[in-house]
Structure 1
Amino acid sequence: MKRSTAKAVAGHLARLVIMASVSLAPLACGSTGPGMAPVSGKVTYQGKPVPKGSITFASTAPEGRNATGQLDADGSYTLQTENPRDGALLGEYNVTIYAHDEPILDYIPKKPIPPKILSPTKYEKPETSGLKATVKSGSNTFDFDLTD
C-alpha cells in the first residue's frame, strides 16, 4: 500500500472512531441516564438497621429493568441499574429484600452451616413482600421498616 493511501485509511479510521465515540456518549450520561433517577434509603427490622443483604426493585413494566443495591452496616442502600449508583428507571416496582449473613469459613464443615437470617423471608419474593415503590424524576428516598 502506498504511503498516501495508508495515511488516508488511517485518517478515515480515526474519523470513524471519533464519530462512534460521540454517538455513544449520550449512553453514558453521568450518574443517571435519561429516564432514570437516583434511589436510596434505609432498611430496618424491629427498629434496627438490617446490616447485610441486598434490595431489588423489580420493574412491573414488561420492558422495564430491575435495579439492585447492597445493604450497608447502617441499613442504607443506593440502587444501580447498570452502573454503580446510577439509580433506577422511572416507574413502578415491587421490592424484595434478601438479608442473610453467610458464614465465612476457613474450613469445610462436616455439616453445612446455614446462614443467619436477618429479616423475615417473606420479603425475599415479590409476590409475598408487599413492598412497592414508584420512582419519579428527581431524587428518590425509600425507607422500609420490615415487620414479622
Structure 2
Amino acid sequence: MNYWLVKSEPNAYSWDDLVKLGRDHWDGVRNYAARNHMKDMKVGDLVLFYHSVNEKAVVGIAKVVKEYYQDPTTDDDRWVVVDLVPERKLDKPVTLDQVKADERLKEMILIKISRLSVQPVKKEEFDIILELSS
C-alpha cells in the first residue's frame, strides 16, 4: 500500500463535499508531477486530504477506489483522474504549522514542494500525521 496527500481549496472543493458525494473523481490536476503521482495510485492506497489556502491543514483520510483514467473535465488525454471515497475525518486537523514544527516531518514533500497538489507520503509520515490528529 502507498500513501498520498491531495490538496484542495476548501471553498472550491472541501472534505465535506467528498463526504456528501460519498465517492468522486479527483479532477482538474494540470501539473505533470501531480499527474504522474496520480498514475501511481493503486486501489486501496490511503490519501491525506489537505485543505489549502486559509486553513492549511490535513482534515481527513480518503481511499483510492479506482485507478487513473481520462479526466472527464477535458478532452486533453494528458490529464487523468482517480476515484476517491472518504474513509474518516481526523479527530482534529493537523495544521501546516504543526507539520513544520515536527522534526520527524522535516523531509515531507508538503514542506519541500508546497504547491504540489498530489504528492506521495511515506508511511512513517502518514502515521505521524495520524498521531498528531488524536
Indicate the TM-score class for this superposition, using the shorter chain for normalisation.
under 0.3
1 or 2 for the larger relative contact order (CA 8 Å, sep ≥6)? Answer: 2
Point out the structure with max Rg over C-alpha: 1
Using structure 1 for the length normalisation, give the TM-score: 0.24
The structure with more helix, counted as a fraction of residues: 2
